[in-house]
Structure 1
Amino acid sequence: MSTFAPRSERLRKQKKSLGKTKTWEWTQAFLLAVVLAILIRLFILEPFNVSGPSMKETMHSGDLVIVNKLIYKLRDPKPGEVIVFHAVEHKDYVKRVVALPGETVEAKNNKLMINGKIVNEPYISEHTRTQDFDMRKVPPGHVFVLGDNRTDSSDSREFGPVSMKKIIGRADLIYWPFQDFGFLW
């Protein structure tokens, strides 16, 4: 029986060592997943909760959207894209880009005009009214934004063009509630 004692002791030690190795591997995998989730949220994708009626034509208060934070590190915003930006301290807004740096923007007879030409806006209802406002030139490093619900939106008509430095990212996907699920581009 003495020949079995050392072998069983060795097996017990091997199992204990194997258990510690597996625990360490699971701990490493968990820590890696947490670090990756944090990095993705900080630099690539972030959830955003839509609040208020200003984008009612496209999304509703309470909708949850995914914001692509990486895209504007690779290129500038384009007209028609829905962006999320820092508007006031501790408050972010979601609006649509309608004009870029150097462009002029105005509304006449309920029509949005960029550089003197009427803009086709398929993302808003034909019943949506854009109250007239005088021509404004978008300064360098800024974009002009409007809410899709033009009669109930605090946007660049009120607070002026938005600095590109304040843009968090492009709203890409409504993911909740499920009946509103869809891409925004």
Structure 2
Amino acid sequence: MTILKKIRSWISSLAIAFVLSLIIGIFLFQPYKVDGHSMDPTLRDNQRVYVSKLSHTFSYFPKYGDIVIIDSRVDRDRDFMDDVMDNPLFQLILNKDDNYFYVKRVIGKPGDVLELKEHILYRNGIPLDEPYVKEAMNESDEEKWVVPDKHIFVMGDNRNNSEDSRAIGYIPLNHVIGTKVL
């Protein structure tokens, strides 16, 4: 009888730990691994970052310059099940590939006009001071973007080696998974 009680106690403890881990990972805090060099020199390939998911949970915009984790699949809607299945526990169990998560920096918010002129990025007519950028952009064509409502514009710090909003488009607010804290 005591062995069954111990087994039940272990199972209930594991179940509680699993549920708490899911809740924390879905709503509050989650680790991610940087994959690639698009954020050089700020973040390195394979570096671990820890992300506050409060902006995602409560649907508020990150600040300019924040480093965010985004779901790059902007052509589809995200729902709660995406948040559940993107939890590290389920990714481990299902051996799921998460190559659609990108680590980028917030450059524009709704209504911002972003312009690239002579290798310099402007937001609302003011040149951005970006000491974190690895090198000047190679692009020579002048480009202009107007960030739509409920979206952000992101770029990597290694602008010449970054698949960001210039390539994938504007990022819907619900595709911003979280903001880097560590």
TM-score, with length taken from structure 1: 0.73
Q: Deviations over 1:27-60 (max 9, x none)?
A: 5444322221121112222221211111112111
Deviations along 1:82-104, one digit per CA (max 9) or x if unpaired, are: 11111138511111110100000
Picking from 157, 166, 173, the partner of 1:148 is 157
Matched residue, 1:60:
44
Match of residue 61, structure 2, among 72, 76, 91:
76
- Stretches of structure 2 that go unaligned for 5 or more consecutive residues are 77-97
The structure number with the bigger radius of gyration is: 1
Q: Secondary structure at the match of 2:56?
A: helix
Aligned residue type for 1:109: E
Deviations 1:80-137 (A, max 9, x none): 0111111138511111110100000012222211001011113224xx1123441211
Q: Secondary structure at 2:41's aligned position in 1?
A: coil
> Quick one: percent identity of the two aligned structures?
34
Which secondary structure state, in structure 1, belongs to the residue aligned with residue 181 of structure 2? Answer: strand
Counterpart residue number, 2:136: 129
Of 81-90 and 36-45, more deviation after overlay is shown by 81-90
Give distance in 1, aligned partners of 2:36 and 2:7.
Answer: 47
Q: By how many angstroms is 1:25 displaced?
A: 5.0
Q: Secondary structure in 2 aligned to 1:40?
A: helix
SS for the counterpart of 1:84 is: strand
Matches within 5 A, 1:103-118: 103-118=112-127
| 1:123-180 Cα deviation digits (max 9, x unpaired) | 224xx1123441211111111111000111111112221111211111222xxxxxxx
Between structures 1 and 2, the one with greater strand share: 1
One-letter code aligned to 1:31: A
AA in 1 matched with 2:49? V
Contact 2:133 2:159 (8 Å CA) reproduced: no
CA RMSD of aligned residues (A): 2.2
Q: Is 1:139 aligned to residue 139 of structure 2?
A: no
Relative contact order: is structure 1 or structure 2 higher (C-alpha 8 Å, sep ≥ 6)? 2
Kindly provide the amino acid, as one letter, of the partner of residue 114 in structure 2: V
CA distance in 2, matches of 1:108, 1:61: 30
Deviation at 1:22, TM superposition (A): 6.6
